Amino acid sequence: MKLLYSPASPYSAKVRMAARHLGIEVTDVKTDSSAGSPELLDSNPLGKIPVLIRKDEPSIYDSVAIMHYLDRVSGGKLYPKKPVKRTEAEVLEALCDGITDCLLVIVYERRMRPEDKIHQPWIDRQWDKVVRGLDYLETHLPKTGKKLHGGHFALAALIGYLDLRFNGQWAEGRPELASWPDIFSKRFSDYAAMKSAA
């Protein structure tokens, strides 16, 4: 299997870390989603990453679908078995992915529009969602025991992206959240090498 990914993509980071944690062999293929790569467009009509390409089987996208596929092929090692705990993990993943969605909207609003066309109220609205989400995580951090799950990897990917694109803008006043990567890194030693990077 191979994964089309971008080093800066938090969703790519989430999937890559989960696959590494599970010991699932995946070849990472760095892909520029804005370049119109035929392999990417043939594998995902949306032209978005990450995409997991399988031999003689349909490709899988987006990151949540890939995570659930990794869970199945690992024999259920990525999400808790008990329904209540699994739902907690899935909701944590949804929250972290949702915050990440808002961060990407902000980044693309600033990157893709001419300066005089940037709509600051739209950015502010997205940042309000980010603030609420991060404040919630500060007081509702997941337990991080021996078993890591999909929600942990989504949170790790989110914080990696915050550090990459919003460094100095989010950690103040959130000491528990800011120090959580230290706890995570003790369970997943490849975090520093696999989180979002420019």
Q: Where in the chain does DSSP place strands (E)?
A: 2-5, 27-30, 51-54, 57-60
Residue 13: Cβ within 10 Å count:
29
pLDDT of residue 145: 86
Clarify whether residues 68 and 88 are in a common domain: no
Task: Give residue for tokens 């990917």.
Answer: 157
Residue 30, classed as helix, strand or coil, is strand
Give just the sign of the alpha carbon dihedral 195, 57, 44, 94. Answer: negative
Instruction: Tell me, yes or no, whether 32 lies in a domain.
Output: yes
pLDDT of residue 22: 98
Instruction: Tell me, yes or no, whether 132 lies in a domain.
Output: yes
Clarify whether residues 111 and 170 are in a common domain: yes
pLDDT of residue 70: 98
Angle, helices 83-112 vs 120-139, to 10°: value is: 150
Clarify whether residues 16 and 37 are in a common domain: yes
Clarify whether residues 94 and 37 are in a common domain: no
Give just the sign of the alpha carbon dihedral 190, 138, 163, 114. Answer: positive
Instruction: Tell me, yes or no, whether 99 lies in a domain.
Output: yes
Residue 168: Cβ within 10 Å count:
8
Q: What mean pLDDT comes out for the span 104-113?
A: 95
Residue 192, classed as helix, strand or coil, is helix
Clarify whether residues 13 and 66 are in a common domain: yes
* 52, 73, 94 - which closes a domain: 73
Measure the CA–CA gap between 40 and 50, rounded to whole angstroms.
9
CATH number, domain with residue 42: 3.40.30.10
Clarify whether residues 177 and 132 are in a common domain: yes
Clarify whether residues 27 and 104 are in a common domain: no
pLDDT of residue 44: 97
Residue 34 binned pLDDT confidence (cut-offs 50, 70, 90): confident
pLDDT of residue 90: 98
pLDDT of residue 35: 87
pLDDT of residue 36: 84
Clarify whether residues 97 and 153 are in a common domain: yes
pLDDT of residue 15: 98
Task: Report which of 55, 51, 45 is spatially closest to residue 30, judged by C-alpha positions.
Answer: 51
Clarify whether residues 32 and 93 are in a common domain: no
71, amino acid identity: D
Clarify whether residues 132 and 163 are in a common domain: yes
pLDDT at 151 over 90: yes
Mean residue pLDDT across the chain = 97
Instruction: Tell me, yes or no, whether 78 lies in a domain.
Output: no
pLDDT at 95 over 90: yes
pLDDT at 146 over 90: no
Q: Which tokens hold the place of 76?
A: 């259920």
Residue 179: which domain range?
Answer: 83-192
CATH number, domain with residue 149: 1.20.1050.10
pLDDT at 125 over 90: yes
Clarify whether residues 67 and 101 are in a common domain: no
Number of structural domains in the chain: 2
